[in-house]
Structure 1
Amino acid sequence: MIDQSKRISQKTAPERSARMVETIYGCKWSLTVFSLLAKGINRPGEMVRCVEGLSTKVLNECLRKNMEFGILEKTVYPELPPRVEYGVTAFGQKFLHILDELEKLQQEMDAPG
């Protein structure tokens, strides 16, 4: 007879966070956007001008996905002409740290030896 206190239940992947990582990595522009933000480029027009092949439509879709997950936040300034800037949230900082760790793990896996 197995002691009930020593039983371990089957572990499953965290559904929401796994979907979030998959969606962000699946978006070919998300990592580029994070890199731009890290360099202080936080306005959409400037992002499009800095990255060859990035369209406004695709950028807006990428930014929207990241805002839905709570990784990025949008600041709209009450000015004319309108000014919009994006930034990484506190949660986003944690998430980006995890992505950095995944990249390090990939580099270890790719290293010869």
Structure 2
Amino acid sequence: MKTKEKLISRKLTPDESARMVETIYGCKWSLTVYQLLDSGVNRPGEMVRSVDGLTTKVLNACLRKNTEFGILDRISYNEVPPRVEYVVTPFGTKFLRILDDIEKLQREIEGEG
């Protein structure tokens, strides 16, 4: 008896990318940080001063998480006083496009309801 070769394998969830999206959306401040970076605010102190309710501790945790995922890159300048800036990486640019698409999908869903 001849067995047929399976043409389609079972589709698995993209665990790592799904966790990344969940973590970013779960972080209350990540989307705000992306808006700040997009508007040219890339220094942590400036970010804290620009947004009511954002603390240095919470911002640092948010920036660290985004840096670990490879969405943001931390640039340290060897100056006195020390200066640190954050920029979106090429991978981060792709990731932010996905977040924009999710936001568009949400608006469409809300429009249907």
| Alignment TM-score, normalising by the size of structure 1 | 0.94
Question: How many residue pairs align between the two structures?
Answer: 112
SS in 2 for 1:4: coil
Offset of residue 3 of structure 1: 2.6
* Gap regions ≥5 residues in structure 2: none
SS in 1 for 2:20: helix
CA distance in 1, matches of 2:105, 2:3: 37
Indicate yes or no: 2:1 matched with 1:3: no
Indicate yes or no: 2:18 matched with 1:18: yes
Letter paired with 2:94 = K
Q: Which runs of 4+ in 1 moved over 3 A?
A: none
CA distance in 1, matches of 2:100, 2:80: 38
CA RMSD of aligned residues (A): 1.3
Offset of residue 5 of structure 1: 4.4
Indicate yes or no: 2:100 matched with 1:92: no
* Gap regions ≥5 residues in structure 1: none
| Alignment TM-score, normalising by the size of structure 2 | 0.94
Q: Percent identity?
A: 66
CA distance in 1, matches of 2:90, 2:112: 36
**Aligned residue number for residue 67 of structure 2:** 67
